[in-house]
Structure 1
Amino acid sequence: MTVKPEWLRVKAPQWQRVGSVKEILRDLNLNTVCEEASCPNIGECFNAGTATFLIMGPACTRACPYCDIDFEKKPQALNPLEPFNLAEAVRRLNLNHVVITSVNRDDLPDGGAVQFQRCIEKIREVSPKTTIEVLIPDLCGNWQALETILRAEPEVLNHNTETVPRLYRRTRPQGDYARSRELLRRTRELAPWIYTKSGIMAGLGETDAEVRAVIEDLRAVDCDILTIGQYLQPTQKHLGVQEFVTPQQFDAWREYGESLGFLQVVSSPLTRSSYHAEQVRALMERYPRTKSDNSIEK
């Protein structure tokens, strides 16, 4: 399939505002997943002055065939100035809510957990009222590394499930469905005040029943927020789209997730993991949480 349906067409961005955000990012030597992963919402988000920062990249140690992030380049040593530059970008952009994600860094013993920690801490110093969401890789199941990130106390911890178990070997050959669920389960157990989040791509050949089963699995580990969006093929080298899922089907999945008790389900063709992520601030006001005495300690 090559012709996109009407519901996947987006408005052309106002490049003046996009350019000003890009200028700040280039000045501070920062990457965004908005650009690296060819997100279709880049115009809307950049025009709103928001961005999802991509740390420890842009080269990735995994070669997921759906992803447009570069895996052919060799990963570089971590930049010790990156946490400072990221905090400065948050200050310059005057962000109320920031999303920090990363490439997979399986070459590092902790998967980059300490870099996440440092970024969170520096943002807190510069902009203490900014809420922070981290979208993290599976850390190869290194649960001590997960604890390192949780001790920095982001408001939201996001880890994407991406697809249904049957399609993992083809879609996420270096990933593991059970490991991803375990990461979310441990986060809830260790830091119950942190909001957990996960996302699924649709259109890779999954069935409605399989998507509903994943929704159930995520709710079973007490995941709070769910995003579901249409997979779009970045280039001819990547996995092809098997189906353009209708908006009505996305609505049905949203309603099903809400019926199971998710605090928020964002499900539409153009939904991405951090699309409208700033809405979590309103969610936190509706469902406030306080740190419990028996949770993970710093």
Structure 2
Amino acid sequence: MQTGKPVIPLHAQRAATPNCGPMPAWIRQPLGDAPHFGLTQHAVHQHALHTVCEEAKCPNRGECWSRGTATFMILGDICTRACGFCAVKTGKPGSAPDADEPRRVAEAAARMGLKYVVITSVNRDDQPDGGAGIFAATMRLLRARQPAIGIELLTPDFRNCQEAALRALAGHSPFVWGHNMETVPRLYKAVRPGADYARSLRLLAAAAALPGVEAKSALMLGLGETTGEVLEVLRDLRAAGVRRLALGQYLRPSMQHLPVRAYIEPARFTELETAAREMGFTWVKAGPLVRSSYHAED
């Protein structure tokens, strides 16, 4: 016989928790209508590729696709984790990674005329190398077609296979290796179940130590963190050797996701950007609509 308060599933708790208030005007973003938008969309869909722009419901898709840029999402569209903030589908992928995907990414990037490409992925905890081999193959084929192309990776934490991932990717410099901390340690249990703050820092420190590799990370604000907690994370990132940083506003993709606790005003982002540069970050993007790959080519 059950006693005490009934257990409410996590998704029901999220849905029952309202956002902090109406979305402010500085968050709103128009849909793209420039000529490049359709060309980008065609290149992505023609090659049967996924983008984080679509799968994660990024608010900047209109702007970025209109500029002819997109962030390719490899290793399928089903993630083995269920983060409280993310709109990407979660579950068991059910099949091995698509070995032909790197070729299609390289073809799409060449067709789009990209000089800088960002590659991210779902978590693939079902794979012995976490999918690092597909990341490596994608970089290899991108450079085979365009030797001078700039490459940025936004990878998972490779929970059970960091050493294997480092071996797979170490020989492909120069590139930017991004891995997002997403939030402050106190909020990890709700925001990043399955992740570990110290493990993510270890990956970034190992990436930063590789010759020809710059480490990058990002945080979402508005989930209930304090400014002091954010600054502490920035100090941890600098101690790990991270040089690139993106700070943006968390936006709730659906009622089944974590609520927005606060909309951070643009002036606060400016203050945090100043603080980050004073700590020694050499590349900083901070603003309500900034995402980890936003203007990454700058």
Is the pair's TM-score, using the shorter chain for normalization, greater than 0.5?
Answer: yes
**8 Å contact kept, 1:65–1:172:** yes
Aligned to 1:180: 200
Aligned to 2:141: 122
The residue identity in structure 1 corresponding to 2:233 is V
The residue identity in structure 1 corresponding to 2:39 is S
Percent of aligned pairs sharing the same letter? 44
The within-5 A match list for 1:105-116 is 105-116=124-135
Which consecutive aligned stretches of 4+ in structure 1 deviate over 6 angstroms post-superposition?
A: none
**8 Å contact kept, 1:133–1:154:** no
Q: Deviations over 1:205-252 (max 9, x none)?
A: 000000000011001111010000000000000000000011111111
**8 Å contact kept, 2:125–2:160:** no
- Structure 1 position 170 matched with structure 2 position 190: yes
**8 Å contact kept, 2:173–2:212:** no
Alpha-carbon distance, 1:26 to partner: 1.4
> What SS is found at the alignment partner of 1:53?
strand
Alpha-carbon distance, 1:186 to partner: 1.0
**8 Å contact kept, 1:32–1:54:** yes
The residue identity in structure 2 corresponding to 1:237 is Q
Aligned to 1:160: 180
- Structure 1 position 8 matched with structure 2 position 43: no
Alpha-carbon distance, 1:264 to partner: 1.2
Question: RMSD of the alignment, in Å?
Answer: 1.2
Alpha-carbon distance, 1:20 to partner: 2.3
Alpha-carbon distance, 1:22 to partner: 1.5
Alpha-carbon distance, 1:153 to partner: 2.1
Question: Any unmatched runs of 5+ in structure 1?
Answer: 280-298
- Superposition TM-score, scaled by structure 2 size: 0.91
Q: Deviations over 1:156-199 (max 9, x none)?
A: 0000000000000111010000000000111122x142111000
Count of matched residue positions in the alignment of Structure 1 and Structure 2: 278
Alpha-carbon distance, 1:148 to partner: 0.9
- Superposition TM-score, scaled by structure 1 size: 0.91
Q: Using the alignment, how far apart are the partners of 1:29 and 1:12 within structure 2?
A: 22
Aligned to 1:150: 170
The residue identity in structure 2 corresponding to 1:188 is A
Q: Using the alignment, how far apart are the partners of 2:197 and 2:174 within structure 1?
A: 24
> What SS is found at the alignment partner of 1:45?
helix
Q: Using the alignment, how far apart are the partners of 1:160 and 1:150 within structure 2?
A: 19
The residue identity in structure 2 corresponding to 1:120 is M
The residue identity in structure 1 corresponding to 2:106 is A
Indicate which of 227, 243, 255 corresponds to 1:208. Answer: 227
Tell which structure's C-alpha radius of gyration is larger: 2
The within-5 A match list for 1:50-89 is 50-72=69-91, 74-89=93-108
Q: Deviations over 1:31-81 (max 9, x none)?
A: 100000000000110001100000011011000010000004634321111
Alpha-carbon distance, 1:8 to partner: 0.6
The residue identity in structure 2 corresponding to 1:211 is V
Alpha-carbon distance, 1:15 to partner: 6.5
**8 Å contact kept, 2:181–2:217:** yes
Question: Any unmatched runs of 5+ in structure 2?
Answer: 1-18
Q: Using the alignment, how far apart are the partners of 2:95 and 2:174 within structure 1?
A: 26
